[in-house]
């Protein structure tokens, strides 16, 4: 490559199948991350891979895309498990499975997650129907291998994700057994954040002349972001638009830059915010230069106060006096977070960085804290009462400014006339109430269906194996949780708010008492205080969800 050349960063240049590149473009992904640029061509070449990269660097796409590419070439192996991804926790299994399903959209490739705490029978049926890719915790994968419900004879690609964490959690024997059961012709990719001797030992025994990839993290000096207030709110994806609406009302930014992961999300969020009365502009890589210039001119002239953008589109933007940066989606790499929020708090001013964190993204938040060596506050979403109090305060400040300016001579006669008939304080209160009512928008009285438990990490703790049966955490009353099985899931249209509403409405259980909620295709799992479990089961037996009666019981299959 000539010295002046710039390496290509788009996915189409990495050698992926046209169908995959088209899917990524349709999803709005604009740029690959360093680990993706390094790992994807190597995996496409068929080589084994030993990659060291931290959480949040885009590892999932780095191994998922070449895995799908290889499976598309191998049409003769359909209905057999040809790809296997091992991950340390059930949360990561669900997350990786969802990502692969999204990347493989339209290809016919089937993905199934395998983890403890979910029905073994359901997983067996999914495998029997034909799963091209399995994403599994080591313990549950080994269970299926022993039952002969997971067969590796046709395995083409095997990935170990977060390998160092799996070893720390005691899965080394399970991993060795699974690797030994895989055919010698399979390709192995091992991804790890650290490179201890045990990882090197596994690589030496089970990888064949692996290529090495090391993605070094940027060094960020402690205290580099001293004038930026950083806060994260734990929000489920479906509730992000409403949560952002509430947070913006509370923060009242003078100008804000909101980052989304894809151009589709940029367009959708911009439309939503404009419908809610904000002056928002979209900026992404699918826009022509003249459109970009027009957006920036409107922003600089204060005709817009919110800019919704992707990382690629926001590069090189010169925006002064930016009061807030919002991570509507966390960036794929922790370093990108630092670059994003560094756009506020400049020239001696204090800035605010807000992040909407999905429940399964706590690992990435910790990775960012390690990089910046700063603690990020996890805040509680503003309530309706908070919002009303904030609006009243803004009204008070506006009225005070008007009083200080003294520019109300023309209406003073009206005030004097009313004061002859009513108490002067009542007259003032009525005027303020009218002024305040003008600031209230439709829907402000609707509270978000976000259980307080969403501020806690989802189930699957790091202490010991995450998939074993029984209560492992303490609830707000100090007692243990147990998991309830509910016989309805995504296919029945069940959402977290439906479960929270039904349980609190039918049994009187406060939403703050509920723990993690996991919704699968055909069932749901809810963590509840053990002391309340029997009462909740009894109360819910006569209840309905989305108009249908559902089975509810203590989960019997929470063993690993």
DSSP 13-72: GGT--HHHHHHHHHHT-----HHHHHHHHHHHTT--EEEE--TTSSHHHHHHHHHHHHHH
Higher local confidence (pLDDT), 485 or 431: 485
pTM for the structure as a whole? 0.51
Confidence bin at 55 (pLDDT 50/70/90): low
Nearby residues of 312 by Cβ (< 8 Å), 6 or more positions away: 30, 31, 284, 285
The residue with greater pLDDT, 349 or 478, is: 349
Question: Which of helix, strand or coil describes residue 321?
Answer: coil
The DSSP call for residue 511 is G
Q: Collapse the DSSP code of 472 into the 3-class scheme (helix H, G, I; strand E, B; otherwise coil) and give the result.
A: coil
Q: Determine the pLDDT at residue 48.
A: 96
Compute the distance between CA of residue 441 and CA of residue 246 in angstroms, rounded to an integer: 11
Looking at residue 119, its pLDDT comes to 83
What pLDDT does 261 receive? 86
Domains and CATH numbers, the chain: 11-214 (3.40.50.300), 228-379 (3.40.50.300), 384-437 (no CATH), 469-554 (3.30.70.330)
Q: Which H or E run includes 549?
A: strand 548-549
Q: What is the mean pLDDT of residues 56-69?
A: 89
Q: In whole angstroms, what is the distance from residue 158 CA to residue 202 CA?
A: 14
**CB-CB contact of 187 with 156 (8 Å):** yes
The alpha carbon dihedral of 416, 419, 425, 429 has a sign of negative
pLDDT band at 464 (very low <50, low <70, confident <90, very high): very low
Between the two ends of the chain, the Cα-to-Cα distance in Å is 50
Name the least confident of 77-91, 267-281, 476-490. 476-490
120 neighbors 143 (Cβ within 8 angstroms): yes
User: What gap in Å lies between CA 85 and CA 156, rounded to an integer?
Assistant: 11
CA distance 408 to 12: 63
Strands 481-486 and 552-554, by their bridges, are antiparallel
Nearest-CA neighbor of 161 among 102, 218, 87, 94? 87
Query: Has residue 466 got a pLDDT over 50?
Result: no
Average pLDDT value for residue range 84-107: 89
Please report where in the chains the tokens 């799908």 appear, as a residue.
68
Using alpha carbons, select from 233, 312, 244 the residue that is nearest to residue 272: 244
% residues pLDDT > 70 (the chain): 84
pLDDT in tens, 139-193: 999 999 999 999 999 999 999 998 988 887 788 999 999 999 999 999 999 999 8
> Which of these, 487, 486, 478, lies nearest to 531 by C-alpha position?
478
Position with higher pLDDT, 60 vs 430: 60
Q: Which tokens go with 336? A: 């990108």
CA 301 to chain centre: 34
Q: What is the rounded (10 degree) CA torsion for 49, 52, 56, 57?
A: -70
- Residue 208: the pLDDT is 93
Higher model confidence: residue 449 or residue 9? Answer: 9
Phi, psi of 412 (to 5 degrees): -60, -35
Q: How many CB atoms lie within 10 A of CB 29?
A: 24
Per the model's pLDDT, the better-predicted residue between 407 and 109 turns out to be: 109
CA–CA separation, 54 and 519 (whole Å): 28
Averaged pLDDT score across all residues of the chain? 80
Candidate from 20-34, 108-122, 157-171, 456-470 with smallest mean pLDDT: 456-470
pLDDT of residue 24: 87
Q: How far apart are CA 296 and CA 300, in angstroms?
A: 6
Q: How confident is the model at residue 452 (pLDDT cuts 50, 70, 90)?
A: very low
| Count of Cβ atoms closer than 10 Å to residue 289 Cβ | 7
Q: Which of 77, 64, 206, 193 is nearest to 135 (CA)?
A: 64
Q: Is the Cβ–Cβ distance between 325 and 259 less than 8 Å?
A: yes
Mean pLDDT of 368-377: 84
Please give the Cα distance from 302 to 252 (Å, whole number).
15
* Of 323-337, 378-392, 464-478, 517-531, the least confident: 464-478
* Two tokens, residue 494: 């069940």
């Amino acid at each position: 490559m000539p010295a002046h050349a710039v390496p290509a960063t788009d996915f189409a240049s990495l050698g992926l199948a046209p169908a995959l590149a088209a899917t990524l473009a349709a999803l709005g992904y604009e740029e690959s991350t360093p680990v993706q640029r390094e790992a994807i061509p190597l995996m496409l070449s068929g080589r084994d891979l030993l990659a060291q990269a931290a959480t949040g660097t885009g590892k999932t796409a780095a191994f998922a895309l070449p895995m799908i590419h290889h499976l598309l070439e191998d049409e003769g192996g359909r209905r057999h498990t040809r790809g296997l991804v091992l991950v340390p926790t059930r949360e990561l299994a669900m997350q990786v499975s969802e990502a692969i399903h999204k990347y493989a959209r339209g290809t016919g490739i089937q993905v199934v997650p395998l983890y403890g705490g979910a029905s073994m029978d359901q997983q067996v049926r999914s495998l029997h129907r034909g799963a091209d890719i399995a994403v599994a915790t080591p313990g549950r994968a080994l269970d299926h291998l022993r039952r002969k419900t997971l067969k590796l004879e046709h395995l083409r690609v095997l990935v170990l994700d977060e390998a160092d964490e799996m070893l720390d959690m005691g899965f080394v024997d399970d991993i060795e057994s699974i690797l030994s059961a895989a055919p010698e012709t399979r390709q192995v990719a091992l991804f790890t954040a650290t490179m201890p001797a045990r990882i090197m030992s596994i690589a030496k025994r089970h990888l064949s002349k692996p290529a090495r990839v090391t993605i070094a993290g940027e060094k960020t000096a402690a205290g580099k972001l001293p004038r930026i207030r950083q806060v994260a709110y734990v929000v489920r994806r479906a509730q992000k638009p409403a949560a952002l609406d509430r947070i913006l009302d509370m923060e009242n930014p003078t100008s804000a830059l909101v980052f989304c992961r894809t151009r589709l999300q940029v367009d959708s969020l911009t439309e939503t915010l404009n419908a809610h009365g904000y002056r928002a502009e979209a900026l992404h890589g699918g826009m022509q230069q003249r459109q970009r210039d027009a957006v920036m001119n409107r922003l600089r002239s204060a005709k817009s106060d919110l800019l919704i953008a992707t990382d690629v589109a926001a590069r090189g933007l010169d925006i002064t006096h930016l009061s807030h940066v919002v991570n509507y989606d966390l960036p794929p790499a922790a370093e990108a977070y630092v670059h994003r929020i560094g756009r506020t708090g400049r020239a001696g001013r204090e800035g605010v960085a807000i992040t909407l964190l999905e429940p399964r993204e706590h690992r990435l938040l910790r990775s960012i804290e390690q990089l910046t060596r700063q603690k990020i506050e996890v805040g509680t979403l503003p309530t309706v009462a908070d919002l009303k109090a904030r609006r009243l305060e803004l009204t008070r400040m506006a009225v005070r400014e008007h009083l200080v300016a003294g520019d109300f001579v023309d209406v003073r006669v009206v005030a004097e006339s009313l004061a002859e008939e009513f108490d002067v304080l009542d007259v003032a209160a009525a005027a303020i109430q009218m002024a305040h009512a003008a600031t209230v928008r439709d829907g402000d009285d609707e509270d978000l269906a976000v259980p307080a438990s969403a501020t806690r990490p989802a189930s699957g703790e790091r202490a010991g194996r995450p998939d074993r049966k029984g209560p492992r955490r303490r609830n707000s009353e100090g007692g243990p949780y147990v998991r309830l099985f509910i016989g309805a899931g995504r296919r029945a249209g069940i959402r977290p708010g439906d479960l929270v509403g039904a349980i609190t409405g039918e049994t009187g259980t406060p939403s703050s008492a509920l723990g993690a909620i996991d919704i699968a295709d055909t069932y749901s799992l809810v963590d509840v205080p053990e002391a309340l479990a029997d009462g909740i089961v009894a109360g819910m037996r006569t209840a309905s969800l989305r108009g249908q009666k559902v089975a509810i019981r203590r989960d019997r299959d929470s063993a690993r």
